[in-house]
Amino acid sequence: MKIGILTSGGDCPGLNAVIRGVVLKGTTAYDIEFVGIRDGWRGVVDADFFPLTRHEVKGLSKVGGTILGTSRTNPYEGPRGGSENIAKTLARHGIDGIIAIGGEGTLAAANRLYNDGINVLGVPKTIDNDLRATDYSFGFDTAVNIATEAMDRLRTTGDSHQRCMVAEVMGRHVGWIALHSGMAAGAHVICIPEVPMSIDEICELVSRAHDRGRAPMVVVSEGFTLKGMEEAYSDKGLDAFNRPRLGGISEVLAPEIERITGIETRATVLGHIQRGGSPSGFDRVLATRLGLQAADAVVDGAWGQMVAMRGTAIVRVPFAEALGELNTVPLPRYEEAAALFG
């Protein structure tokens, strides 16, 4: 059996650990031959493959990024795209199936290809933790750790100057990174997309913390909307999937907080730092386990499914069940954190 592996969409810590897990189990237990596919679906369309052996994956579980490269290419676009062309390309190279490691967009493309007769299996990845079929996605824990450490640093400089510090984290339309890092760092306000707030509500909490002698710490998720705002703040145009590129809401909030409360305020956008570097121990283990189970799923012919974490178990979930609705922060989880605000 010959299987191609690709990583697609935004990178995230743990991708290499998945690749290593798949290749180690697949080659030793099942004698599968693997090829790496360069730059996500772009490599499928362009037949950009290379042999992937134990040698290529050695020592990879701690390495950030992806040795395969990634892109946000849509496999149905371009003259060589589309399921018929892709089926021919795979047949020509003797590739029996693809393991696609990616987020919502990648898995949607994988599902479409599967429905068009191509053997595809998914492994969910995203720092945003927004896929509902898996309790946690690898990359999330690392992003939370990076954001928490950054906030600890912001708090010491904020304390020294008695300033309000606003830290903006990623997450697109879900607030998991903000909720977890904000709670871990002891934020006085956490603003997430699931719960719009008014600027006055935010300022009330900021002033309350300040009145107790604290330097207020506000954590805001990039997809947060102030009450009355129709869409998340975006001034950077669209990405390859025509989605608005988010980021910058903290720069909107900071001057408003300063104006209303009279407290000197600074904004910091953490940005792609959250996606870079070495995965946490938790993410290395989760990613490796998903990789091992993906190799098992290939042998079982479990195409059209993705491996996912439910509780502490790794299970298989059909693509159709995994896609569509986002894994948003449930209100009780937000209320739990809100008990510590102000």
Q: What are the catalytic residues?
A: 128
146 vs 170 by CB, closer to ligand F6P: 170
Binding mask 95-134 for ligand F6P (x = CB under 6 A): --------x----------------------xxx------
- Three-state SS string over 199-224 comes to HHHHHHHHHHHHHCCCCCEEEEECCC
Return the residue nearest ligand F6P (CB atom): 170
Q: Is 271 left (phi over 0), alpha (psi -120 to 50) or beta?
A: left
Q: How many CB atoms lie within 10 A of CB 210?
A: 20
Q: Which two structure tokens, joined as six digits, stand for 189?
A: 């306000």
Secondary structure of residue 265 in the 3-state scheme: strand
Q: Does 170 bind ligand F6P (CB under 6 A)?
A: yes
Comparing CA positions, the residue from 109, 185, 94, 200 lying closest to residue 144 is 185
Sheet containing 189-191: which strands, arranged edge to edge? 189-191, 217-221, 164-169, 265-269
- Residues 248-277 touching ligand F6P, rule: CB under 6 A, are 275
Q: Does 246 bind ligand F6P (CB under 6 A)?
A: yes
Comparing CA positions, the residue from 58, 54, 53, 61 lying closest to residue 16 is 61
Distance in Å, CB of 130 to ligand F6P, minimum: 8
92 appears as a binding residue in the annotation: no
Distance in Å, CB of 247 to ligand F6P, minimum: 7
Which residue in the set 25, 42, 172, 284 belongs to the binding site for ligand F6P (CB under 6 A)?
A: 172
CA pair distance 89, 45, nearest whole angstrom: 8
Query: CB under 6 A: which stretch of 43-51, 238-246, 295-303, 326-334 binds ligand F6P?
Result: 238-246
Annotated binding residues: 10, 72-73, 103-106, 126-128, 163, 170-172, 222, 266, 272-275
Residues that bind ligand F6P (CB under 6 A): 10, 103, 126-128, 170-172, 222, 239, 245-246, 275
